[in-house]
Each structure stands twice: as structure tokens, then as C-alpha cells.
A and B are shown apart, each in its own frame.
Chain A
Amino acid sequence: MKRSVSITRRLVITVLIMELASAIALIGIVTVHEWRVRMKAFDATIAGTTQSLMGAVQDAEDEADNVMLDLTGVQLGNHAIYRVVDEGKRVLGAEGTLPADTPVSSPGFHNLRVRGRTYRFLVFRGIRVIDPGKVSGGVRHNVEIVYGVPAGRVWHEVLESTRFFVISTVALLGITALVMAWLVRKGLAPVYDLAREAEQINSSEWQFEAPEEAKSTVELRPLATALESAVARLQRSFEQQRRFTNDAAHELKTDVAIVKSSLQLLSMRKRTPEEYSQGLALSLDDFTRLEMTVQKLLTLARLEQPMERNSLKESLSCALSDVLDEAVYQSKPLAELKATEVTVDSEKNVRVAIDNHDALLLCSNILLNAIQHCRDGGHVRIALLGDDQAARLTIQDDGEGIAEEDIPHVFEPFYRGDASRSRKSGGTGLGLSICKAICNRAGGSIEIANHRAGGVLVTVFLPILSLQPEPTLSGSIKAR
């Protein structure tokens, strides 16, 4: 199984990582800042102590007006190292040993290592005037002070405050994670609601209305509406399927009922041989109709199966004009019966990618329909045109036309606008559905409309395979 991905976890982790990164940056900045502030304060303390040391340089009260160091009241730092030297290189006072590399010549702060510890030293040169009140103006002494204390203390303090920051950040992160998880879960509630609602859908319960909350959530709205329309589409096609199955069952049952009742009627009592043979002939007719219904249903089922491969589609090819001639030839008996004239005006070499048999089915279905609905002694006009993209086949009768409200439904299986004209006229209500299925399969289309001049005009568009430019040939077949 693939590892499942949790949006909640992702969100929380992302936020936490962001938070952690900014916390680390903040801690870094704060640490540097802290270090600088503390260093300044430290340096100030060192400078202060150095000044105190300077102040502690006193008149030695001797003849030479020498100076001495009086440390009374001077606070020195722990582990402090210092040395006070006068201009005569006389050490006035010292503690600890100065490292050998002390840059005494350059005043200022220096970091030096003393016995493994980092010290901060201040080298200070000052002038101490003894007896300034005297006429001579006193004796001036150049005093050099080197004072150092371990710098580790500063680092320690900085680390101390940093640690405080780190601990509070970690605590904050923990709390944030918990609150985030809860909030995100709560924020995702519409998703769960939507899922729960969607779970209710099944083939018998097609009600699906996305919860209001999901629809008012910007991120969920596309999903909710997509789900709603998908369910609606599915419902429609299910409904269509169901209706088709019901209608087919109805049709078959009716045909079976006819056959059965014919035979049972015949066997109700003893009859004369003439009655028997007449009854059998009727039963056979009834049976033929049942067979036709079954055959058409199977044809429709076959046509509605998706084509296996495109390559197969390419291998199909038929000359539509030849097929038309064949259809006209086949319909001759009916045309003669109704004294209908059928004229064909077709371009040769219009080749379409349909199986020959299907093409004939298509043409003869439409043609027979047209002849049936023609008035007696009427006229059916067939025209076939082809350009470089599509073949256009029109079949027009001069009958009563079709009721406008029936037009959207005539291609539905078993649809009968006026039942009195379909069953009686021998139709199963599948002919036009089969035509539509053939056209759809070939990537074409079929339309039906009332002609201005009266009668029905059926137009078929089919994608063309090739059209060799040849003179148009007109043919007229009179079925009279």
C-alpha cells in the first residue's frame, strides 16, 4: 500500500518547521545582540576598574615624588590580573602573571589566553600628577595599567539568556503544534462532512447535495460542485439505462404475450384445418416480430459497445452511394406498395468509415421510415453530398411531418410519439436509435427536422474517408 499523506500533518509540520527556523534565526540575532550588549557592559566594567586602579596610584610621600599603589577601596574582579607600571618601569602593583604576548605598547582591549582561560585585558596609559598645587606644577608620572579579567563570565551570561530563549521557544512550539492540529482538524470538518454525505450515494439513493458548509468553503466549492454534477450525470445515465431496460422488457414481454396468446387461442378448442393453418400463419408472424425486436435490441447493444481499437475503425470503409442504391433496391417492395417515388442524387466515391452492413442498416432504416410516413403516391428525395471533411446525406419525405414536441425524443429507444402509428406500422421504436448509434460510432451525427415544404427531413453527417473529384452522377429510381 502507498503511504498515506495527511494534510493536517503536513500543515502542522510545515508551520512548525517555519516556526522553528524563525525561532533559530531569532535566537541567533538575540544571542549576538546580547553578546554585544554584555560585552560593552563588561568593557565598561573593566574600564571602570582600570580607572579605579589609576585612582589608586598615590603619592608615595618620598623625596623623589614617586608614586605607589594604594588598593584601599578598589574592587577588583575575581581572578583579575593586573599590573601597574610607572614610567621608570617600576611595577607599582601586580597580581597574577601577565601573558608574555601582552601588547602593552598598544592601548585598548585585547583578548588573551591565560592558563587556558580567555581573559580580556585593557591596556591603559594615563598621567598621574603628584602635588599639582605646587609651584612647579607637580610631578607628572606616566602610568601604564594592564588589567584583565576572565571573559568567560560574559559568555556564560549570554548562554544563560540564550538557554532561556531556547526553552521558551520549545515550549511554544509544543503548544503551537497541539493548537494547530486541533484547529486544522476543525478547519477540515467540511471535508469530512462532504465525505460523509458522498458516502450515502448508491445506485438506489441518488440524492446528493453537498453540505452548505462545504459549498461556502472556497477551497471545497469546486470539489463539491464537481461531485454534485458528477452524481447528477451518473444518475441521468443510470436512469436512462434503467428506462431502456424497462422498455426493452416491456417490449419483449408484449411480443411474447402476443405469441403465447395466439397459440393458446388456437388450442382453446378443436378447430378446422383451415383455422389451424391460418392461426399458425398468424403465430409465425407474431413470432417474426418477436425475433425482430430481439435482433434490433442486440444490434443496438452491439453498436453501443465502444469500438475496440482505432486501427479497426481505420480499416472500415464503404462507398455510401453504393450502399444507398442497395437500400433503395431493398425498399422497392414497400415503395411500390405505397406508390412512392424515390429519387437519389448522390455523389460517387464518398467513402465513410462504417461497416458496410451498418451503413446499409442506417440508410434503409431512414429510407423505410420516410416511405412509411410518406403520403400515398408521395415522393422521397435522397441527396448525398461530400466535401473534404464530411459526407452529408439527406432524406426527405412529404408526409405529415413530426410533432415538434417529439423531435427531441425520436432517437430515444422505444420512443413513440404517437403509439397508433408505430406499433401498427410494424416499427419497434428502435430504428432511429440504431441509426443514431451507428452515426455516433462513426463520429458523425444525425438530425431530424420538419421541412419547410412539409414532411420530415433527416440529415446525416459522417466524417469522410476520401473523395475523389469525379463528375456528379445523378440517378433516379422510379419504384412504380
Chain B
Amino acid sequence: MRVLLIEDEQRLGENIVAALREVGLAVDHAQDGEAGSHLAEQGVYDAIVLDLMLPRKTGQRVLHDLRQNKIHTPVLILTAQEGKESIIELLNAGADDYLGKPFDLGELLARVKALIRRAKGVSTPVLVVSDVELNTVNQTVTRRGNSIELSPTEYRILEYLLHRPRAVVSKQELLEHLYDFDWEHHSNVIEAHVSNLRRKLSFAGSEPLIETLRHRGYRLCGEGSR
């Protein structure tokens, strides 16, 4: 999952980026409203954390333009401004959540994850498809009760696919949502990771979970229950 952070305060931004990355999210950091707006409008993010007091373009404007452009990425507002009115105004303008500074980093992470989950139509932190279970809190994966060790990238690919069962997910989409600009990446990398993932998930007698569709991408098969 890829998150965009728009925050002009450098040290705070650094900390949030580090924390989001620690929980396995790809993060891009924009330091002003204009750059943030540009990045957000690419539509590749699964959530946006938005500060309000920004140079060049205020957070309110960024949010407004985003919704105007029919981009429905969930937005969490981060601000030190006071007042219930502004909260109501922001929520009415299309914000999905609100966190006042100084906030708890753990709370911010939980809220961002919840926003991503909700936006994908999942309400619990445990994703279940067929006999595979993925716990987004502990970042653990089990199949038929057997714990499976995955590398961070493999975990993220599986998490993304589990969020979209039975949908065809292209390599491009995976690249866009799993890597931020700071990472060197290439579509071959995805192929390698997916093949590793497939290997780790296969048991004797188990059905293949990830299906490859030539030139189209990947698909998670099996019955999903949420």
C-alpha cells in the first residue's frame, strides 16, 4: 500500500514517513501543497495524510481540488488548528478522518491502515481469502493454520492482492501501490517476488492461490470471506 504524506514541517514529516514505512507502507512525502496536489492527482495512492497549513497551497485547497478531480483516495487531515467548525467543514469537504496535533504516532498508523482497509471494502484488520489468513496488525500470514514467513515485499504483494480478491491486478498497479519514489524498481522485481510468494504459499495438495494472466497481471483465486 502506498501513502502520500503532505506535510511542510520537515522533522515531523521525516518521523511520519519513517513510522509509515516501518509498518510496511510505501510513502511519498510532499513538502508543500502544490507538490502534494500534483502527486495526489496521479491517483496511485491508497491513502493521503494531509497537513492543513501548507506553503503555496493550503490543505483545504488540496482536498477540494482532489475531490473536484474525482479522486476518491481516503484523506486523513493532520492539523494543529482548533475548532469543531473546521473539522465539520473538512469532513463535509471530503476528508475521511481527522487527527489533531500533537498526535499519537500509533494512532496515526492505525487510522491510516483503517482508512486503507475501509476504502477497499474491508472492515477488520484480518484478511481471509480461501484458506489464507493475513493479519495486518501483526503482519503475519497463515495458510491452513500454518504460519508462513514472508519478506516485507512479498507480504505487501499478498496484502494488496488480498484486498482485491478475484480482480486482475496488473504489474504496473502493483508497482504503483507498493513502491514509493525512493525505491529503485522494475517490473521484473515484481515477477521474482510473486514467484517466491507462490512458492512459499504452496503446500502439498493445496490449490495454487495466485494465478498469472499473461500480459494482464495477477489474480487471487478462491472464495473470499470478509
Q: Is the CB of B101 within 8 A of A257?
A: yes
Contact between B31 and A258, CB atoms less than 8 A apart: no
Q: Are B9 and A420 in contact (CB under 8 A)?
A: no
* Interface of chain A, main secondary structure: helix
Q: Which residue of A lies closest to B51 (CB)?
A: A254
Cα distance A249–B81 in the bound complex, in angstroms: 8
Residues of A285-328 at the interface with B, using a CB-CB cut-off of 8 Å, are 285-286, 289
Of A256, A258, A262, A416, most B-chain CB atoms within 10 Å? A258
CB <8 Å contact, A261 and B80: no
User: Which residues of the partner chain B approach A282 to less than 8 Å between Cβ atoms?
Assistant: 11
With A269-B22, A419-B32, A423-B10 in contact, do A254 and B15 touch (Cβ < 8 Å)?
Answer: no
| Chain B residues with CB under 8 A of A253 | 80, 100-102
Among the stretches B36-44, B103-111, B149-157, B166-174, the one at the interface with A is: B103-111
Q: Are A260 and B32 in contact (CB under 8 A)?
A: no
Cβ contacts under 8 Å, A256 to chain B: 101-102
> Which residues on A sit within 8 Å (CB–CB) of B103?
257, 260-261
Is the pair A419, B55 in contact by a Cβ cutoff of 8 Å? yes
Verify B19–A257 contact, CB threshold 8 A.
Answer: no
Which A residues are in CB contact (< 8 Å) with B105?
260-261, 264-265, 268
Q: Measured between alpha carbons, how far is A211 from B151 in the docked complex, in Å?
A: 75
Count chain A residues whose beta carbon lies closer than 8 angstroms to a beta carbon of B.
26
Considering the chains assembled together, what is the distance between the CA atoms of A289 and B12 in angstroms? 12
Among B8, B12, B18, B106, max chain A CB count under 10 A is at B12
Is there contact, CB below 8 Å, between B11 and A258? Answer: yes
Q: Is the interface of B mostly helix, strand, loop or mixed?
A: loop
Taking the closest CB of chain A, its distance from the CB of B136, in whole angstroms, is: 16
One of A249, A261, A418, A424 near B16 (C-beta < 8 A): A261
Instruction: Provide the residues of chain A in CB contact with B32, threshold 8 Å.
Output: 419-420
Interface residues of A in 393-430 (CB under 8 A from B): 416, 418-420, 423-424
**A246 interface hit (Cβ, 8 Å):** yes
Do B9 and A249 have beta carbons less than 8 Å apart?
A: no
Q: How far is the CB of B220 from chain A (nearest CB, A)?
A: 29
Assess whether A260 is in contact with B8, with CB atoms less than 8 Å apart.
no
Query: With the chains together, A282 CA to B14 CA distance in Å?
Result: 11
Q: Does residue B82 face the partner (Cβ distance < 8 Å to A)? A: yes
Q: Output the nearest chain A residue to B103 by Cβ-Cβ distance.
A: A257
- Chain B residues in 8 Å Cβ range of A424: 10
- Please state if B19 and A264 are interface contacts (CB–CB under 8 Å): yes
| Interface assignment of A250: CB less than 8 Å from any CB of chain B | yes
* Docked-complex contact A249 and B82, CB < 8 angstroms: yes
How far apart sit A97 and B52, CA to CA, in the bound complex (Å)? 122
Q: Are B102 and A420 in contact (CB under 8 A)?
A: no
CA distance A418 to B102 in the complex (A): 24
Cross-chain contact B101 with A254 (CB below 8 angstroms):
yes
User: Which residues in A have some Cβ–Cβ distance to B below 8 Å?
Assistant: 246, 249-250, 253-254, 256-262, 264-265, 268-269, 282, 285-286, 289, 416, 418-420, 423-424
Q: Mind listing 26 A-B residue pairs with CB under 8 Å?
A: A249-B82, A253-B102, A254-B101, A256-B101, A257-B80, A257-B101, A257-B102, A258-B12, A260-B102, A260-B105, A261-B19, A261-B105, A262-B11, A264-B19, A264-B104, A265-B19, A265-B105, A268-B105, A269-B22, A285-B11, A286-B11, A289-B11, A419-B8, A420-B8, A420-B32, A423-B9
Known: A257-B102, A264-B15. 13 other contacts (CB 8 A): A246-B81, A250-B81, A253-B102, A256-B101, A257-B103, A261-B102, A264-B19, A265-B18, A268-B19, A268-B106, A418-B55, A420-B32, A423-B9
